[in-house]
Amino acid sequence: MLAFSNGQIGDFKFIFTVNGSVHNPLNNFNSIINATRSSGVTTFTTSQPHGLVIGDKVSVSGVNPVSYNFINQNLKAITASTFSVEISPEQSYISGGTSSSNDIYFTIIRGEYGDGPIIDGPFSYLSQNPNNEDYSIDIQASGEVTFSYKIPVQLFPDKYYIQCQTTNDNSSIYLSSNFQVRASEVQLNPVVISNNSTFISNFKSTYEDLNNEETSTVLLIGHANGLGINNPIKIRSIQSAIDLLGADINNPLLRGVLNAYAAGARDIIICAAAPASEYVESYLNRNTQTDVFSLLNDSVNENVSFYERYYDRLEETYSLIQDLDFIDIIVPLETSIIKTGGVDFVTQLANYCADFHNTTGYVQMGVIGSHSGGLSHDDVSLIEESNILTNKLTQYSSGSIATDYGRFVVPIYGEAVYQHEQIKTSYVSSIAASFAGMMSSYPLNRGIIRSRIPGAMSVYGANLTNSDHQSLENIGINTIYRGKKTRSTTPYEVYISNEYTLSDENSTLHKVNQMRLISLVLGQVKNYSYSAIGKFSYDDVIFKTKNLLSNLKNSKTIVDFTLNAEADPNNRGKIILYISLLSAFGLKKIDFSLSAGPEV
Q: Which residues does residue 88 pair with via DSSP β-bridges, in sequence order?
A: none
Distance, in Å, from the CA atom of 182 to the CA atom of 3, rounded to the nearest integer, reads 7
Closest CA relative to residue 452, chosen from 423, 481, 473: 481
Q: At what angle do helices 252-262 and 432-441 cross, to 10 degrees?
A: 40
Distance, in Å, from the CA atom of 216 to the CA atom of 441, rounded to the nearest integer, reads 7
**Residue type at 533?**
I
Instruction: Name the band, by pLDDT with cuts 50, 70 and 90, for residue 379.
Output: very high
Per-residue pLDDT, 196 = 34
Tell me the domain boundaries of the chain: 2-20+103-181, 25-100, 218-496, 521-596
Query: DSSP assignment, residue 277?
Result: G
Mean pLDDT value across residues 476-497: 77
Instruction: Name the band, by pLDDT with cuts 50, 70 and 90, for residue 277.
Output: confident
**Radius of gyration for the alpha carbons in the chain, expressed in angstroms and rounded:** 29
Per-residue pLDDT, 414 = 94
The CATH homologous superfamily to which domain 2-20+103-181 belongs is: Immunoglobulins (2.60.40.10)
CATH top-level class of 218-496: alpha beta
Is the CB of residue 339 less than 8 Å from the CB of residue 287?
A: yes
The arrangement of strands across the sheet holding 70-74 comes to: 70-74, 57-61, 98-100, 29-38, 41-46, 82-85, 77-78
Mean pLDDT value across residues 411-420: 91
Per-residue pLDDT, 188 = 31
**Residue type at 97?**
G
Closest CA relative to residue 223, chosen from 13, 23, 423: 13
Q: Does the pLDDT of residue 568 top 80, yes or no?
A: no
pLDDT tens digits along 83-92:
898 888 888 8
Is the CB of residue 238 less than 8 Å from the CB of residue 210?
A: yes
CATH top-level class of 25-100: mainly beta
Bigger pLDDT: 190 or 297?
297
Mean pLDDT of the chain: 80
Q: Does the pLDDT of residue 115 top 60, yes or no?
A: yes
Torsion-angle region of 221 (φ positive above 0: left; ψ -120 to 50: alpha; else: beta): beta
* CB neighbour list of residue 502: distance below 8 Å, 6 or more residues apart: 346, 350, 388, 389, 392, 393, 394, 405, 406, 407, 408, 409, 410, 411, 476
Its sign, for the CA torsion 331, 332, 333, 334, is: negative
Per-range mean pLDDT, top range of 193-207, 299-313, 404-418, 500-514:
404-418
Cβ neighbourhood burial of 162 (10 Å; 0-12, 13-18, 19+): buried
Distance, in Å, from the CA atom of 150 to the CA atom of 330, rounded to the nearest integer, reads 31
Distance, in Å, from the CA atom of 34 to the CA atom of 46, rounded to the nearest integer, reads 7
Instruction: Name the band, by pLDDT with cuts 50, 70 and 90, for residue 366.
Output: very high
Per-range mean pLDDT, top range of 103-112, 113-122, 279-288, 320-329:
279-288
Per-residue pLDDT, 169 = 64
